[in-house]
Amino acid sequence: MSGGSFGYGCFRISDFANDLQEKIDNNNVKDEYGDADNINEDCLELIRTAQKIIETAGKLAYAIEWMYSGDTDQEDLKVEIGKILGGVQ
């Protein structure tokens, strides 16, 4: 089947993580209107931590969605989750 059992929701999570990383990278960069986010460093550090968690969630969602779609099996899922979480299961 090639994914899809959750409407490819894993990609929406990953896209959010990517968009958030772009916001972090361009925090003090002015847009075409002369505006910038200018998030302070304390808050930005929390956002960086959250971004990494969201990025990981996208990877986990992908692995789970593909298993439920029949592209991988339960053993593959265990291995993939172990890789994503650094061996933690």
Three-state secondary structure readout of 24-58: HHCCCCCCCCCCCCCCCHHHHHHHHHHHHHHHHHH
Decide if pLDDT at 63 tops 90.
yes
Give the three-class secondary structure for 17: helix
Instruction: List Cβ<8 Å contacts ≥24 apart for 9-14.
Output: 9/61, 9/65, 10/58, 10/61, 10/62, 10/64, 10/65, 11/58, 11/62, 13/54, 13/57, 13/58, 13/61, 14/55, 14/58, 14/59, 14/61, 14/62
pLDDT in tens, 11-62: 999 999 999 999 999 999 999 999 999 999 999 999 999 999 999 999 999 9
Q: What is the pTM of this model?
A: 0.89
